[in-house]
Amino acid sequence: MAFQLGPFLTSKPMKSLSFKLPPIADRSLGSSKSMSSSLRSGATSKEIENVKKSSIPRREAHVQVTHSMPPEKIEIFKSMEDWAKKNVLVHLKPVENCWQPQDFLPDAASDGFEEQVRELRERAREIPDDYFVALVGSMITEEALPTYQTMLNNLDGLRDETGSSLTPWAIWTRAWTAEENRHGDLLNKYLYLSGRVDMKRIEKTIQYLIGTGMDPRAENSPYLLFIYTSFQERATSISHGNTGRLAKAHGDTKLAQICGIIASDEKRHEAAYTKIMEKLFEIDPDGAVLALADMMRKRITMPAHLMYDGCDVNIFFHYSAVVQRLGIYTAKDYSDVLEFLVGRWKVEKMTGLSAEGRRAQDYVCRLIPKLRRLEERAGERAEEALTIPFSWISDRLVKL
């Protein structure tokens, strides 16, 4: 999933470009003032400490908008069902043709298991710690899958009403989830076997993240969420692809293969989501371009932006900084994805829009050169690299 820094930090929210390094390397818990404020006056230090331990860091919350799509637009999705059957479901792979995590992992039922694990660990030994921070972040993001299925099932006009509904939208959501489920499984098992990471603290981060959820600000609108998923699937494909290339550069072709196979799934998902949006651009050009501008104004934020590991309130920013420094997902990639989508949906060439639609079109088209300029400036302003400990790798230090 993609790596835009979100507006939810307790301190110094990022205002301009999403990929600036975090302003501070602060491993402390969130403000003790804000945490203790929920306690009665005169609380003992032990009580305050207990609240600190049990609290997820407090984050600034914006007003959450829900169900913003006009009810009459639900009909659009009803009328698209036959089209979706023929054009969206084709991007799913039959289970029998799908790879499974076991295809890329040592087989615990075979005699060669121990030898295969030993080889995997030898290969992993050659890979630097910062790479593992990036890979762990990726795995944690994939593992928060229950949240993403919830997002899709919150969409007006599309949700799976029964849990086994036969509408093409519901079939897509369940099968997409089932395909995605292999990604977290595979990366999780690989990382466990590698012996290079602190699994308990990673597991804790996953539990925090699923418990916290996400906030892409999609307002239960399929228009907004499909802009988001189009962006995310492409971004994820890029980041898994780059993670694979780096693994290869570190001499681990098997890990490179793992990342590559996941990247190719994401590409298939991107094809489906961008096709749905393409159809919406055709049926309802105003609605589609307004949704694109709206999401870009809000900025596309990585689904794991509310990540917390139990000790570093800025873990997401720190992780994003490492990912950016390693070239796995950068500010340039963010602009590239937007430019690709604008081209894919022929946004610049749209005609016959309302005045509001033209303003949205204009905003999106002008945003690309603006992001490019910000990228350049961010590159020129290379900040002093901080080094911080990451819980995921037993508090070993990594440069941001």
**CA–CA dist 235, 336 (Å, integer):** 9
DSSP states of 283-297: H-HHHHHHHHHHHHH
312 binds Fe ion (CB under 5 A): no
- Minimum distance from residue 7 beta carbon to Fe ion (Å): 24
180 annotated ligand-binding residue: yes
List the interface residues with Fe ion, window 233-262 (CB under 5 A). Answer: 233
Residue 362 CB neighbours (<10 A): 14
> Which CB, 142 or 215, lies closer to Fe ion?
142
By CB under 5 A, residue 196 contacts Fe ion: no
Q: Answer whether 400's CB lies under 8 Å from 323's CB.
A: no
Say whether residue 183 binds Fe ion (CB under 5 A): yes
**Amino acid at position 260, single letter:** G
265 catalytic residue (yes or no): yes
Q: Is 99 a catalytic residue?
A: yes
180: contact with Fe ion by CB under 5 A = yes
Catalytic one among 143, 180, 252, 270?
180
**Does 270 participate in binding Fe ion (rule CB under 5 A)?**
no
What's the gap between Cα 209 and its chain centre? 12
Q: Is 339 a catalytic residue?
A: no
d(CA 21, CA 385) in angstroms, rounded, equals 9
From 160, 185, 266, 312, active-site residue: 266
- For residue 85, give both structure tokens: 């059957």
Closest to Fe ion by CB, 183 vs 298, is 183
Q: Minimum distance from CB of 269 to Fe ion (Å)? A: 4
Sign of the C-alpha dihedral computed for residues 168, 172, 178 and 179 taken in this order: positive
Residue type present at position 94: P
Q: Is residue 91 a known part of a binding site?
A: no
Separate counts of helices (H) and strands (E) for the chain: 15, 2
Assess whether 383 carries a catalytic annotation.
no
Mark the segment that binds Fe ion (CB under 5 A) among 11-19, 46-54, 173-181, 306-314.
173-181
| Cβ pair 386, 399 in contact under 8 A | yes
Decide if 142 is catalytic: yes
Any known ligand binding at 142? Answer: yes
Segment holding 273, helix H or strand E: helix 253-283
180 catalytic? Reply is yes
Please give the residue ranges that form the binding site for Fe ion (CB under 5 A).
Answer: 142, 180, 183, 233, 266, 269
By annotation, the residues acting in catalysis are 99, 142, 180, 183, 233, 236, 265-266, 269
Q: Which residues line the annotated binding site? A: 142, 180, 183, 233, 266, 269
